[in-house]
Structure 1
Amino acid sequence: MAKRLVSLACEPVPGLGLQRAVGVGRLSVRQLDGRTRLNRLYQEGCAKIRIPKTYHGSALEAVVINTSGGVTGGDRMNWRFEAGPGTHLMLTTQACEKVYKSSGGVAENTISLSVEAGARLAWLPQETIMFDRAGLSRSITADLAVDAEALFLEPVVLGRRSMGEHLEHADLHDRWRISRDGRLLHAEDFHLSGPVRPVLPQSAVTSGRSAFATLLFVSPRAEGFVTEARRLIGPGGGVSCWNGKLLARVTAEDSFELRKILLPLVSLLNFGAELPKVWSI
């Protein structure tokens, strides 16, 4: 009888799917007495938002948290942030987001940002770590007022080399759509799919390096930072600037080397604010 009970417990239940993580987070800020203050906050499922006490001048720092501890195929995260007129909002993540091996489908992460007149916003998540056979579809959509400024960063690590991890197969799709005053300013799609080891050594991908980042700085002051940004990045990437935006690509051997480049680079472009405290924990 005992053996029969064990057998029944291991059999799949018809119609019962795998448990998936779903999270929705919303936050908006407004200006009050010359400082950026919380206006609205909504969180659902595994999506949490925390606002630590910081000393960034007029900036408000919000920390995005996925309490499920990572994502895998079929998980869905949806975030929306709004910076009201004249505000300064800095967004980051509590830790690196880990994308685990998928048993089917991809994880979806949707980020929507709104930056109103005279506002400044920085989207500065920590690294996304891709494990072998992981799948992630991520979209960043931002609407900026004509005089708003914004800084966007997305660092990615394709397996942690210090842990002996190497990617053979992965599915990563990054989609960015950034508009200013209702007109498309920046659009890009980065897509790795299937066996990735043969394509990573290509110079148009990562030149064989396992860590990389894309940084976009939208500001009428962008051109003034090009020379220093190129010096900080060195031979591991490049910087272009046109039409009021600075675009940087960075590659490195691992996440530690990537951070050594990103920390001073973000400090240069982060509107005079300190880096998020969670980056140093």
Structure 2
Amino acid sequence: METVTASPTFPDLIRHQRANGSAELRFERQGAGTVLRHLYQSAPLRVLFPRPEAEEPPLAALVNTAGGLAGGDRLRVAMVAAPGSIATLCTPAAEKLYRSLGPETQVETTLQVEAGATLEWLPQETILFSEARLRRRLEIDLAPDARLLAAEMLVFGRSARGESFARGSLHDSWRLRVSGKLRWADTLRLDEPGAALADRFGFGGAGAFATLLYAGPDAAAQLAPMREAAGPLGAATTPREGVALIRWLGPSAAVRAALVAAIPALRPVLLGLPPFLPRLWTT
């Protein structure tokens, strides 16, 4: 008797190639300036080093050459600012999270800011397409006298196309430690994003959400300028000793405009840097 073997179904034949990229950087103090001492990168992540403006620290730009992320993709970034160094890490454009066929996209970032160092973590916004699934984790470890200015912005769908982040999932967490001890933790989890984003006691139909965090020994003294920089759309607070933050919730264009205005307003006050955005935010 002839044996008939069932043919695999079409989905079983599909093996999607997934991105698994990483980037490692270490900046060190040299004389009166800061230099790059270590760089490792693997596709699709690439790190570019645009020439900084006068009086600006070294600028590293994280580029995703894939043009966006899909379910199953994984990115890892590790940055060290060695004692006394100062650097800025940003992205040249918004990151797009495409619809997933099931698996989560995973993004892991580790920032280590050592004694007397200053670091800016200023990526542009992350846009969550409908049915995207993102698990993102930001781990920060600071020396007691280190300073950090960090921003993150989430856009819930493509408003220009009338799309909302009605289905999908988001698990976004921050962990900030000082000398290895947990100082502040925050997690946003949306398993049914449509209901949570529409709820008037939740996100109230907002199209975007942004955080600007300052961590440093003088954080409590900086609450007044941060409240001023928050503007009418945001609110500032000091949730723990050594941590001050602003949060904005509202339409995506208005939230981005508020964040774009706050960063240059606060850089001179918090970090002693020129009142400019990183050049890649405006080019």
SS in structure 2 at match of 1:142 = strand
The gaps in structure 2 that reach 5 residues or longer are 1-6
Residues 115-264 of structure 1: pairs in structure 2 closer than 5 A: 115-194=113-192, 196-202=193-199, 205-241=202-238, 242-254=240-252, 256-264=253-261
**Structure 1 position 203, deviation (Å):** 5.2
Q: Deviations over 1:16-44 (max 9, x none)?
A: 62110111111101111211101011111
Cα distance between partner residues in 2 of 1:105 and 1:233: 36
Q: Scaled by the length of structure 1, what TM-score is found?
A: 0.90
Q: How far is the alpha carbon of 1:90 from its aligned partner?
A: 0.6
Letter in 1 for 2:277: L
**Structure 1 unaligned runs (5+)?**
1-7
Other-structure match for 2:3: none
* CA contact 1:36–1:58 (8 Å) conserved in 2: no
How many residue pairs get aligned? The number is: 270
Q: Is 1:59–1:87's contact at 8 Å kept on the other side of the alignment?
A: no
CA offsets 1:185-237 (integer angstroms, 9 cap, x no match): 1111111113x222213455322111111221101222333223223323423
Q: Determine the structure 2 residue equivalent to 1:3.
A: none
Q: TM (normalized to structure 2)?
A: 0.90
Q: Identify which of 258, 276, 279 aligns with 1:277.
A: 279
Instruction: Tell me which stretches of 4 or more aligned residues in structure 1 moved more than 6 Å.
Output: none
Letter in 2 for 1:226: L
Equivalents in 2 of 1:204, 1:151: separation in Å?
A: 29
Query: What is the Cα deviation at residue 12 of structure 1?
Result: 5.6
Question: In 2, distance between residues paired with 1:203 and 1:81?
Answer: 38
Specify the code of the residue in structure 2 equivalent to 1:139: R
SS at match of 1:265: helix
State the percentage of identical aligned residues.
35
- Partners of 1:168 and 1:237 in 2: CA distance: 24
What is aligned with 2:58?
Answer: 60
Checking the alignment, whether the CA contact within 8 Å between 2:220 and 2:241 is kept in structure 1 is no
CA contact (8 A) 2:115 2:145 kept: yes
Flag the 1:200–1:11 CA change in 2: closer, same or farther, 3 A. closer
C-alpha RMSD over aligned residues = 1.9
Deviations 1:214-272 (A, max 9, x none): 22110122233322322332342311114111022111212x21122112211233322
